[in-house]
Amino acid sequence: MASESAAAAASASSPAAARAGGGKDDELADLVRRIVDVLSRYSDRLPFDLDRQKLRSLTTLAAIAITIVFAWKLLRAPPEQPRRQRRRDAPSSSNTSSRSQPGALVGTDACSSVDSRAHEAINQLFQPLTLEQLVRHKLSEGRRVTCRLLGVILEETTPEELQNHVTVKPSVLEVLLEIAKICDVYLMEHVLDDESEEKVLSALSEAGLFTSGGLVREKVLFCSTEIGRTSFVRQLEPDWHIDSSPEIVHQLSRFIKYQLHISPQQTERVSPNVFSSASLEQFFGGLDQR
């Protein structure tokens, strides 16, 4: 009777074990697919071009390697030990049958615990990046940034408009302040008179850009010509320059490590170190996918 009960318990637990094994295989395959997809999407945010076919092979190999390490660590985790039976009754057919069932339940609980840890680890691995992480990644360890105001930070696009009104784009504030936390930021613009300068500074202040930890008022520079802005950039030697003028971007492409051309229209790439985007927040914040 004892042997029959043990055989019955083993046969009952074998389908559960098979399902657990199949679940782990599915988990492993799902993990590989997710890692490949994430790495492929992450490559779109790199400040240089990559061959898609080569990237697919590399990301697949990387995903398999990460998965193997992950699975190895998971399998090394010690299973939960069943508690010892305090009562030591004489062995009988009824006792043997009753003891076989808790053992099967403990095995099922251990599998559930492993699956739970696997899901938790996967969810942590694929947590979305914060804005700070996105900005740091885009800047590629850059430490100084110069940026034009018209068409990038301001709604206005010409110096003539600044004589009448100045409007800061609300959508750029969060990204610009995040850049200012990790970089030395200089804003600059070509203006036609002193009144325009005052209007610009007042608008930036009212938008909260000069608060503690934000931009520095003295690092907002003004000039009377477009050539003056080019001269500012070359003297400051930034890691990144952001501009809405294709002519200025083209002139500086030989001297500046990276440039970002802000343009509502899709533009042709003039140099490998020049990137384009419809807005500052789209490129640095990753709020809108390219």
Give the pairing type, strands 220-223 and 240-243.
unpaired
pLDDT in tens, 108-146: 665 566 566 666 666 666 677 787 888 888 888 789 999
Per DSSP, the chain holds a count of helices (H) and strands (E) of 10, 6
Single pTM value for the model: 0.60
pLDDT tens for each residue of 255-271 = 999 999 999 887 778 78
SS3 242: strand
Residue 191 near residue 224 (C-beta atoms within 8 A): yes
State percent of the chain over pLDDT 90. Answer: 44
CB 255 within 8 A of CB 231: no
3-state helix, strand, coil in the chain (%, to 5): 55, 10, 30
> Percent of the chain at pLDDT above 70?
57
